[in-house]
Amino acid sequence: MMASHGELDVRTSAQCLISLDEACEKAAHHVTPIDRHEGVSLLDAMDRVLAEQIFARIALPAFDQSAMDGYAFAASSIGRIEAELSIVSRIAAGGSSGPLPAGTAARIFTGAPIPRGADTVVMQEHVRRDGSRLKIDDPVRPGSNVRRHGEDIAKGELLLHSGLRLDARHLALLAAQGFSKVQVLQRPRVVIVSTGDELRQPGETLGEAGVYDSNRTMLLALARRAGLDAIDGGNILDDAQAMALRLSALAESSDLIVTTGGASIGEEDHSEAALAASGSTVETLKIAIKPGKPAVVGRIGHAAYLGLPGNPVSALVAWLTVGSAMITKLYGMMPQRRIGYSIATVSAFERKVGKAEFVPGRLVSTDRGLRVEILGRGGSARLKPLIHADGLAEIGASAGNLSPGDHVLFHSFRGDFAT
């Protein structure tokens, strides 16, 4: 018996679903990495992407120095227990001293240079001092408590690769090398646009069939937190021609255009038609993901394009996965989506195999450590469950029903929830 047209559509649709990783790869294919860079001060470089390789200007430590407050001397001066040395100098950090004669010691402080003639520092807690005389009661290990010149970093060593997102650790290293400025990539210009006749902006009169636009606010906030130059592109009505003209104009000054709404296949979904009308490259992705199955990707002139679903949770999930891969590619790095960290659940959760699923989760402390409680299916249009969650739990496409103790990938709302 032949299937009806509707039955055939359902089967064909299921067969056309692609994995989340494949969708990210396809989306990133439409992205051209930016090559614009600028010099910024170290503090302004926080969370920016490095545009140059950094080589060590100086060795660290720059000289042999004391790792402790104590006394410096030559280990050969200590030939027996209860050795006694004469204290002949005092060396503080930033100070200097002449050569240390044999059989003598120098009072020395952390970070101070080791004087010539000394090779060992004994901690002040391990000696007895009587005026200018020093008594050492315990055996001494030659070379102890000395930071050797260049033992941390050698001059000329490659320290940081281009493409690295800088954080406080990297800035500390750059400062220790004497850098006051660094070359970073300019922030990618990302335009966020809403689509839909039903949308009203916060502060406007809602009307009988209107809904307030939450997606644009959410995505602009996430984009700014990701360090992007996020531009509010406003709202476009459900008209393919008007959308094509507006997106083409926005593409002239942007690297990525992101729209929400109109990414599905209904009669009022116009993203794909708008891109086609503007002569753009377009590709519709049907992703094995829940929520957020449909996405439209392509290019509009100079800019890459990402069309997200209109339901807010679907848009959020698609931004964190497909959008993350596209932004990574903008920075010239290997495209990859945001990866959560593995954590065991305390919840049972029923589901079907076949789609990666993202659900709200709350972190809980147990006698076995930190675990995640799955708060049920939030629904693609429901924002309230997200408020009670600490993040999203990602359940792999091949996983079936979950039992307590099974692992998921957790994406925390705190920390780097930007891309």
Distance CA 37, CA 187 (A): 9
Those residues with Cβ within 8 angstroms of residue 185's Cβ, 6 or more apart along the chain or in another chain: 34, 36, 37, 48, 49, 50, 51, 331, 332
What are the start and end residues of each CATH 3.40.980.10 domain in the chain? 17-36+187-330
Distance CA 93, CA 125 (A): 19
Amino acid in the structure at residue 402? L
More confident residue, 140 or 46: 46
The answer, yes or no, to whether the previous bond of 139 is cis (omega within 30 of 0) is: no
Say whether pLDDT at 346 is over 90. yes
Say whether pLDDT at 267 is over 80. no
**210 — pLDDT class (breaks 50, 70, 90):** confident
- Report helix, strand or coil for 45: helix
What tokens appear for 104 in the block?
């003598």
Say whether pLDDT at 288 is over 90. yes
Q: Could you tell me what percent of the chain has a pLDDT over 90? A: 63
The count of other CB atoms within 10 Å of the CB of residue 90 is 12
Q: Could you tell me what percent of the chain has a pLDDT over 70? A: 89
What tokens appear for 78 in the block?
């200590």
The count of other CB atoms within 10 Å of the CB of residue 202 is 10
**115 — pLDDT class (breaks 50, 70, 90):** very high
CB 187 within 8 A of CB 45: no
**86 — pLDDT class (breaks 50, 70, 90):** very high
Instruction: Out of 172-181, 214-223, 364-373, 380-389, pick the least confident.
Output: 380-389
CATH 1.20.1200.10 fits 39-59+153-185, yes or no: no
More confident residue, 342 or 335: 342
Q: Averaged over 314-330, what is the pLDDT?
A: 92
Q: Which burial class, exposed, middle or buried, applies to 223 when counting CB atoms under 10 A from its CB (0-12, 13-18, 19+)?
A: buried
- Report helix, strand or coil for 219: helix
pTM for the full predicted model: 0.79
pLDDT of the residue at 261: 84
pLDDT of the residue at 212: 82
Say whether pLDDT at 111 is over 60. yes
pLDDT of the residue at 140: 85
CATH 1.10.150.110 fits 17-36+187-330, yes or no: no
Sign of the C-alpha dihedral, residues 334, 295, 395, 10? Answer: negative
Those residues with Cβ within 8 angstroms of residue 283's Cβ, 6 or more apart along the chain or in another chain: 26, 30, 296, 297, 298
More confident residue, 381 or 135: 135
pLDDT of the residue at 270: 56
pLDDT of the residue at 327: 93
More confident residue, 113 or 202: 113
**379 — pLDDT class (breaks 50, 70, 90):** low
49 beta partners: 165
Chain mean pLDDT for the chain? 87
Q: For the domain with range 341-412, which CATH number is right: 3.40.50.2300, 3.40.50.300, 2.40.340.10, 2.160.10.10?
A: 2.40.340.10
Say whether pLDDT at 274 is over 70. no
pLDDT of the residue at 7: 34
Say whether pLDDT at 268 is over 50. no
pLDDT of the residue at 139: 81
CATH homologous superfamily for the domain 65-147: Molybdopterin biosynthesis moea protein, domain 3. (2.170.190.11)
Say whether pLDDT at 108 is over 50. yes
pLDDT tens, 42-76? 999 999 999 999 999 999 999 999 999 999 999 88
The helix (H) or strand (E) run that includes residue 314 is: helix 312-318
**15 — pLDDT class (breaks 50, 70, 90):** low
What are the start and end residues of each CATH 2.170.190.11 domain in the chain? 65-147
Say whether pLDDT at 36 is over 50. yes
